[in-house]
Amino acid sequence: MVKKLEYFIHGLDEARGIVGRIKNEGFFSGRFASEIELCILELAGNLARHGGGGKLLLELKEEKISLRTENFLPYIPDFSQIFSARGHGLRTVMRIMDEVSLEAISGLPFIVNAVKYFNYFPTYRGYYAEKGLKFYSIKLPVGRLSFFLRPMIGFDIGGDGIFLHQQPDKVKLTLVDALGHGLKAAKVLEMINQFYQDVQKINECDLELLHKQLQGSRGAAMGQVFFDLSSKKLIFTGCGNISTTIFFKTDAYKALTSADGIVGYGKLRTFTEKVALDHFKYLYFHSDGVSYCWLRDNIGKDFGPLTTLAEGVGKYGKNQDDILAGVLVLGEI
């Protein structure tokens, strides 16, 4: 059964009254009703406050909630505003839902999707830079993974992507920045996806196998982050310009080293580092579509990890390159 509602919001007064209108319709019920209503209230407030008003469309289908906001003002919302102090409702939904995604495409709606998987959660998925700026936030056994993807301005698809494998005691992130842009770069992502369709076991590192898989393609910079919860270790193996930085609980930080080279071209060179999971709190990563000075310039500022991430994409993202940038908050679900 699919439920749909549509509201027009012109100002803050209408935004504040939206939850009462939703309750009268009997739209939400069950364990998470109040949290979801809080999210809707604050998203409506953001729409009125930052978007000049607009149309709010709600859709509920089984365990998937879709909130679409069509702005009166044609602009891309400032994600750092959404993740700052005014975004409690969105963060609440991120805590209770297994996966949340947002899209901001110039001239098109600002979209929020939230999914509660309960006992079912896919063990393998791939995410690609396509059709504008997108944000994903996913609960993992090791913590919460949040990341942005966007193709180079002027392209509908790009070569930046992230591949996620998970089991109860193991999680692996494969970070990819394929050489070039557009369809040729996206072809590399498709080759990697095809490789992983046949992989049953989560290996600590499979860059050598991927190196063979990508022979004849443009190749890619790649980093693999492997979390072993049984031994409480992070193992990072990298080749090329994927930047990965861990922030310790002491607020010190360390960039994890990636070897020079290209996966799929020439002779493969990799570098591996290991870190104890109980020593750090954040893992940031990005392709060279985000300036290297992003984290350096934000050290010491009183931002949460999501606001820092949004600042990085908004202020340090390059229009002339694909973008992959993310953060894993250890232990946060």
Whether 133 and 85 map to the same domain: the answer is no
Residue 166 is classified by DSSP as E
Whether 88 and 208 map to the same domain: the answer is no
- Residue 146's pLDDT is what? 93
Whether 99 and 10 map to the same domain: the answer is yes
- Structural domain boundaries, residue 290: 123-333
Q: Is the pLDDT of residue 85 over 50?
A: no
Query: pLDDT tens-digit profile of 37-68?
Result: 777 777 677 667 666 667 777 777 766 667 66
Whether 172 and 267 map to the same domain: the answer is yes
Q: What is the number of alpha carbons within 13 Å of residue 171 lying toward its C-beta? A: 22
Whether 60 and 103 map to the same domain: the answer is yes
Q: What is the pTM of this model?
A: 0.83
Of 6-10, 173-177, 246-250, which range is least confident? 6-10
Q: Is the pLDDT of residue 182 over 50?
A: yes
Q: Which residues contact 27 (CB under 8 A, 6 or more apart)?
A: 3, 5, 58, 60
Bridge partners, residue 220, by sequence: 178, 263
Q: Is the pLDDT of residue 84 over 60?
A: no
- Residue 324's pLDDT is what? 97
- Residue 215's pLDDT is what? 95
CATH number at residue 322: 3.60.40.10
Whether 74 and 186 map to the same domain: the answer is no
Whether 97 and 108 map to the same domain: the answer is yes
Whether 29 and 162 map to the same domain: the answer is no
Whether 290 and 192 map to the same domain: the answer is yes
Residue 222 is classified by DSSP as E
Q: Is the pLDDT of residue 119 over 70?
A: no
Of 147-151, 205-209, 259-263, 312-316, which range is least confident? 312-316
Query: pLDDT tens-digit profile of 259-288?
Result: 999 999 999 999 999 999 988 999 999 999
Tokens 């406050």 map to which residue?
Answer: 49
Whether 90 and 171 map to the same domain: the answer is no
Q: Which of 88, 120, 152 is the last residue of a domain?
A: 120
What whole-number distance in Å separates Cα of residue 188 and Cα of residue 183?
9
Stronger pLDDT, 287 or 311, i.e. the higher one: 287
Q: How many domains does the chain have?
A: 2
Mean pLDDT along residues 69-82 = 54
